[in-house]
Amino acid sequence: MSTAQLVLIPFYRMIRLRDVDNDADVGGAEAIGAANRDGYASTGYELFVTCAQDLEPVTLTVTITTTPVEPAMFELECPSGHLVFGAPTGQHGDLLAPGGPGVYTGHLVSTPDECRITLWRTGDVEDDYWGEDDL
């Protein structure tokens, strides 16, 4: 098990979590809209969590474990196993996944002053960068 904690002001009422190698923001605008409506959303590459406020500090805890937490709420592809998290334009932290690169499933609990994200490895990352037509 591996855990990292960060106390931050969630600028724009948003917390983001992604693998350091996932920076394309594919589907980000749609996921932000869904997070604003539903409290959280994942593109499969990045998780967006809406916070109740952006004036007071929020404690963000990210835990990677081998034990699933029910219910599973989202999936996140982590090609490097190096996660970064924090506010879109503010403080951030990072965490190396002990299981290395892979697909991680997650659960989250969010209150006005705390956000807890738990991840566990559920598979390998598919290497689909090169399609058959590209070879």
pLDDT digits (tens, 9 = 90+) for 90-108: 779 999 999 999 999 999 9
Dihedral sign computed on CA atoms, order 103, 116, 10, 91: negative
Radius of gyration of the chain (CA): 15
The dihedral built from the CA positions of residue 78, 82, 87 and 88, taken in this order, carries a sign that is negative
Please check the confidence at residue 134 and state whether its pLDDT lies above 70.
Answer: no
CB 75 within 8 A of CB 103: yes
Whether the CB-CB separation of 65 and 120 falls below 8 Å is answered with yes
Q: Looking at 21-25, 117-121, 130-134, which range is the least confident one?
A: 130-134
Average pLDDT over residues 5-19: 94
* Domains defined for the chain, CATH in brackets: 2-127 (2.60.34.30)
